[in-house]
Structure 1
Amino acid sequence: MTVSTPGPGFRPRAVLAMSRAAAAAVLAPDSLAALGRVCDLAPLPVLDDLTTDRARSLLADADLLVTGWGCPPLDEEVLAAAPRLRAVVHTAGSVRGHVTDACWARGIEVSSAAAANALPVAEYTLAMILLTGKRALERARDHRSERRRVDPLATPRSVGNHRRTVGILSASLIGRRVVELLRPHDIEVLLHDPYVSDADAAALGVERVGLAELFTRSDTVSVHTPLLPETRGLVGRALIDSMRPDAVLINTARGAVIDQDALTEAAVAGRIRVVLDVTEPEVLPPDHPLWDCGNALITPHLAGSQGNEWRRLADLAVAETARWASGAGFLHPVRRERLAFTA
């Protein structure tokens, strides 16, 4: 079997492997056309089952897989059917669900659109930091109920974003984008991340602090920690109870990073306010007290790429495919040794 080397003039044979719903959402016709200009793309429909005769036929000639949500695991059996496969371009964030040890053992190169997906999550977080600082949601609710003029000079000094202290939990891709977006604002930013040095923190323009100090000093804590065995339940009762009265806890990471029971008790008691784009479980039971809690805003896991934001994921996949085919390598590679620290 002759295998061409990426470089000038190389056109990899590529196959789409993801759920059909993911392909329809992320890969609009113009994105598919753009992808087809930088590789020889196998015809639709996409592969959502890699064990069928059609899948084996397409995998036999594939140099590259373009994957997405719903891609089956690329295990040893799948790789045996894809002897030419050398690269995976993922159109979403985490690759944990489908890139297996067998991929790393073969030396398959992997790229992810996590950097593109980080921006809308960071934008959501910035919006929630600023809106909760002004208590905009609660005041809008009261205004709708009372329907009378409110004297702005009677606003408590606790309201507002001037010199507000925001604590960022984890300098992940998303955490770093939040720090970037906060720079134009008159806000003090604290960071806790055990893998970030004082020099790194200084370069980011933040103050590096311990985990306990992050919670006691911050007016708002924003959680950006990936869910790993060691981070499950990381934000426990002691940290939640140590937060300033009326402080805000924002979670766009994973619900299981936070002790849900302790969080619920604090919010229902009115000690803190919470903004949750993720919960544990992912959809709370219908009778869960947070649904009717005035101190809780729960959104349906919408912070990540949705709607027209999917175009960023597709554009990044096209660019990464073109770079890899040219021999330049991926701009957004996923490293096996970094998987223990990423989502």
Structure 2
Amino acid sequence: MVGLQQTGRKWQIWLGVMAAMVLSACQPSAAGKTANTAAPTGEAKQVLRIGYIGPSETAGGAVGWALHQGTLQTAVQPLGFAEVKEYVFPNGPDLNEALLSNKLDVGIFGDTPALTGEANRGGSTLIGFNSVANEAWLMGRPEIKQLADLHGKNIGVPNGSYMHRYVSGLIEQGLLKDVKLKFLLPRDAQAALSNGDIAAFAAPIQLGPQLQSLNFNTVDLASKHGLQGNSVIVARNAFLSEHPQFFKVFDQVRSAAAKDLRQQPDAYYAYYLKHTQYKEPIIRASFPMESFNAETFPAQGLKLLEGTKQFLLSQKIISKDFAIQDWQIKSE
């Protein structure tokens, strides 16, 4: 069985890696256009820089919908932002490092790396949720039918992600025994499963249903154990201090966008499908309408967030405890 302390050390090593901002960057005002460029430095007063986790060309959710409609760009112009740019990252730790290194202003990513970053280094504020209770799929090779079949085998997980937290939770609960975790990015999962390098992979939204469609077995789901993740929205403390009106403007736009997209799901899915290679059934399964919340801090999201924090503490992945309410932005 993989040592959880060893897992924690590897996790923290990844948090120390500088973000390589040479990945696709998507400019919302030109949907579908990408450029291989680094996030600009010194442009914070001119460009609002939003980072998110790939593989799609947009963050999606309420924030993505607001960018698609242009409402966020319009709303932040009076605050001094000439444009808004999205930057895609392969995983949470890389995004977290970019955020804390002043290469981003706002980050949209899983709650596990967001909590780990705040506990270990601080410097961020929780300003909302882009989606709540995101599913994770434990997808196995044809011979893997149930959790017990994974005894003594390799399981692939994206390091520092909510899928990592999910599989580690199964280990903690004794549902997975004598397994070895291999850190893999989602883009490498299908090949690793096909080649037999791993027996199963903990897949995020989009990839889970995609692997299902390719006839890999659904061994388990995070929702069966209350181990789903959230997509949280955080901002740098220094950025919020420099732009005290930003949160109020941003949250009003985000909330309105969430309400709007839930009223026209077909239009939302049509928009998102233009920015991803996945097919419509995959996207609908990955992003149910109920995951998009109009509230700034929905109760379900906060409950899952607290559960994730307590897990990270219990496994000594983080050593510093803090109150979620102290991390949340204080609004008037």
Q: TM-score, normalised by structure 1?
A: 0.30
- Structure having the larger proportion of residues in strand: 2
Higher helix share: 2
Specify which structure has the bigger relative contact order, considering alpha-carbon pairs within 8 angstroms and separated by 6 or more residues.
2
TM-score (ref. length: structure 2): 0.31
